[in-house]
Amino acid sequence: METGGVFDSLLSGVCVVFTLGMFSTGLTDLRHMRMTRSVDSVQFLPFLTTEVNNLGWLSYGALKGDGTLIVVNAVGAVLQALYISAYLHYCPRKAKVIQTKSTQCFSFSLTIATLLTSVSWCLYGFRLRDPYIMVPNFPGILTSFIRLWLFWKYPQEQDRNYRLLQT
């Protein structure tokens, strides 16, 4: 196998692993919603945008006949639909980061996973010289950097329900 083929296979594998990892970060939110029967620290928008993104990529994968794109995005679409359903089931109202000056409702792991996934897919698209893969992933990079900035500006506070023990 030539060097380019090995690199392409490796990069494709990295894209799949990061993408499935990103999709699975919602499982902790799902578990939290089920346990607390609320959405107090869970954001809806990432689920919705990822679902729309999955459906678009699923269509593109079907059009191109790319089994990797089809499988990865079918799994993602099913998981996002599950997360959205749970959110809508438990959601009485939404919290806002800027108004509350708190990022408690943001998932740091989802932010990092989205950044890594979007960067890896951009590199994959660049390697294939396929703008249809590169361009749709730039918003994921941009919004990840915006969320990282918000984490910096409004750091997540320690849980106030627990006080440090005096020694």
3-state secondary structure at position 114: helix
Do the Cβ atoms of 57 and 73 come closer than 8 Å? yes
pLDDT tier, 114 (very low <50, low <70, confident <90, very high otherwise)? confident
Residue 97 has a pLDDT of 67
Average pLDDT, the chain: 82
What is the CATH number that goes with domain 3-153?
Answer: 1.20.1280.290
- 97 vs 77, residue with greater confidence: 77
- pLDDT for the residue 157: 67
16-59 tens-digit pLDDT: 899 889 888 889 889 989 999 888 778 887 888 888 888 888 88
Angle of CA points 109, 82, 144, to nearest 5°: 30
CA distance 49 to 53: 6
CA–CA dist 142, 43 (Å, integer): 18
Q: Count Cα neighbours of 20 within 13 Å in the Cβ-side half-sphere.
A: 12
pLDDT at residue 162 greater than cutoff 50:
no
Question: CA 93 to CA 101: how far, in whole Å?
Answer: 17
> Do residues 82 and 134 touch, judged by C-beta distance below 8 A?
no
Phi, psi at 89, each rounded to 5°: -70, -40
How do residues 57-68 score in pLDDT, each as one tens digit? 888 888 889 888
Dist. CA 37–CA 81, nearest whole Å: 18
- Predicted TM-score (pTM) of the model is 0.57
Cβ partners under 8 Å of residue 155, min gap 6 = 103
Of the candidates 60, 107, 101, 99, the residue with the CA atom closest to the CA atom of residue 83: 107
Question: Which two tokens mark 30?
Answer: 């799902």
Residue closest to 136 by CA, chosen among 114, 124, 148, 118: 118
